[in-house]
Amino acid sequence: MEKETRDDALSFGHLALKYGYISVEQLRESLALQKERASRGQPQKLGEILVELGHLSRSQVIELFRKQASMGAHPQLENYKILEQIGKGAMGAVYKAIQVSLNRLVALKILPPKLATDKNYIARFLQEAKVAARLNHENIVYVIDVGESHGVFYYAMEYVEGRTVKDLVEQGGPMSNEEIIDIGIQATRALECAYSHAIVHRDIKPSNIMVTQERVVKLCDFGLARQLDVDMKGVTATIAGTPYYIAPEQIRNGPVDTRTDIYSLGGTLYFMATGNVPFSGASPVIVMTKHLYEKPVGVRVKNPQISPQLEAIILKCLQKRPEDRFQSPAELMRAFEITRSPKPVTPRIRPRRRLHRRFRR
């Protein structure tokens, strides 16, 4: 069990005092017992001692841990020592942490305390971990552990040292043809792995693609992923995806499949090539309307250094109808490989054809 620091214990104790759950005498008694046990090599969290002495109930301890987390203090979890917050999204904050039992760095995603009392959000959070855990691929951030500690839901992932595609473009400008193709191929391999498990990511975007110092691409954040053979009963349906990279069928709440991810990857490739999103606007509604009805400005109009063949790949990914895009990651991969070869061939939009049944609802 991770040793609780004196500051963490005092913070927890003062919070219990603030809400009138314990007296000053009870806090002093509990802190003294905690110190004594620690000196004997038996570290114990203050909350556990307060429960043992009958000063707090377990439900009160869970409530206080959640309040402590919502106030900005790092949550206290069994077997993990949290070092710093490295990211934050709608479905949780991500921390750099040490998994104490194995003494290794991990990325720890924690469900926000305000959502941890909602069964729908808990189900969605655990489903995210379950989906990501099924994917074992060098281009996907893998899940190490999932659990709950003192009412705090979390899962641990591979810690990746690197920068996101978003950061790389914002700091260095549009990428070269070679860089785009290299990152595109690796991201497509990740999609191929998800496709083989009937999983759609549904939120491919520059900030969800990491690039390590060794130029290895890692697809992360399966918070909106959908396992197509699982019915998420009880989870409220909403428009999933980021407006700048969302596919038309997501906006319409229609059926999604691997071609949905290919559209979003196309938007990401567009950003890599031009430094701009495919569509912009004063509001998410305006941006999504453009995804539905407008064509993006040509890639080479914004960046003439991009080859016609690569532009054709990007624009084919961004076709409005799924039938007009690449029909699988393997097909997109072949287009990348051909474009990278000495005699690239411009991909053509194929006539409409049915997709494999497993991607039908």
The span from the CA of 288 to the CA of 282, in Å, is 11
DSSP state letter for 114: T
Residues 6+ away with beta carbon under 8 Å from 337: 185
Q: Give the residue among 46, 6, 43 at the shortest CA–CA distance from 150.
A: 46
Contact by Cβ (8 Å): 121, 92: no
DSSP state letter for 144: E
Quote the longest CA-to-CA distance of the chain. 81
The H or E element that residue 184 is part of is helix 177-196
Number of C-alpha atoms within 13 angstroms, CB side, residue 149? 21
> Could you give the residue numbers annotated as active site?
203
The letter for the amino acid at 361 is: R
